[in-house]
Amino acid sequence: MDLKCLEVVCEIADNNVAEKDKAISHDPRVIRNLLALERATIPHLDYFRLVQADLKPFMRKIVTTWMLEVCDEQHCEEQVFPLAVNYMDRFLCLCPISRQTLQLLGTCCLLLASKIRQCHALTVDLLCAYTDHSVTPEQIRSWELLVVSTLQWNLSAVTGFDYIDHILERVPWGAENAHIRQHALTLVSVCYTETTFIQITPSLLASACICAATRGINSPSAPFAFGDICRLIQIDPFDVEFTVRHIEQVVAKETAALQKQVYKAHPYASQSTGKIPSSCAADIGQPETPTDIQDVYF
């Protein structure tokens, strides 16, 4: 008898995800356990003011944006980027470093997060190439041990991404529009590059991002999302509304900056929409990632 395998395997192995398990999605203990565990791995202080004398918030913005672009280009699992940022923030709460080693720290955190959250970890040589070889493989391996020892090997952190699917699977409107999930995940990624969200709990961040996503795409569920999520997560509605407004301000700022960049790259782009005429679009390449924090003059 011939054996036949009917499984469809994607080109990128890490993108083969399991089907939804109702035993998990319908169990209220999952949300309770996430809420109980999340506070153990939240950065506990403002390290820019109390620990890091040589770092500024905009430096973190540069490095975390670079980390996000590396994850996007390498098609990493969705949870890799927020987990890497969590490692970096917790490390910076405990150990002062110089600005010249900030990208090295971000590189090590990407390596560790990829080992924890996906089947195929990012390689040391690949990460060195993304830094334009400003760091060496020996430095990455040495700092990898420094990071895990500083974090006391506590690498199973709860992030905002961990809540998105669990919330959407438990609300009645969670499956009505696939764009809600994608927009919410995008907003969570943007928030992890902003210093103002460092000490916000992952549950509050995820709840606010889902509410902002339903509003942003004018979903019919938008009027009900706020109340349903607050009841599910048992969170203060005032905190959610305040965070949603802050997220919308961040998105507006990022959108305006992107449109300005597009218009500067091509004078025929519309200042109001940022759109480029199709006849001229081919002349513009992808923006390059600022891969080396040492190349930025402070």
pLDDT for 15-52, tens place per residue? 556 677 777 877 888 899 999 999 899 998 999 999 99
Cα–Cα distance, 15 to 118 (Å, whole number): 9
Residue 177 φ then ψ, to 5°? -145, 115
Cα–Cα distance, 44 to 15 (Å, whole number): 33
Q: Whole-prediction pTM value?
A: 0.81
How far from each other are the two terminal CA atoms of the chain, in whole angstroms?
A: 70
Give me the percent of the chain exceeding a pLDDT of 70.
81
**Amino acid making up residue 181:** R
**Amino acid making up residue 83:** L
CB under 8 Å, gap of 24 or more: what pairs does 138-145 form? 139/104, 140/104, 140/107, 140/108, 140/111, 143/101, 143/104, 143/105, 143/108, 144/108, 144/111, 144/112
Among 23-32, 157-166, 245-254, the least confident range: 23-32
**Residue where the block lists tokens 């980390």:** 67
CA distances from residue 249 to 56, 134, 246 in whole angstroms, order as listed: 21, 34, 5
Cα–Cα distance, 68 to 91 (Å, whole number): 18
pLDDT for 93-152, tens place per residue? 999 999 999 999 999 999 999 999 988 899 999 999 999 999 999 999 999 999 999 999
Residue 129 φ then ψ, to 5°? -65, -35
Supply the angle between the helices 80-92 and 178-192 in degrees, to the nearest 10. 20
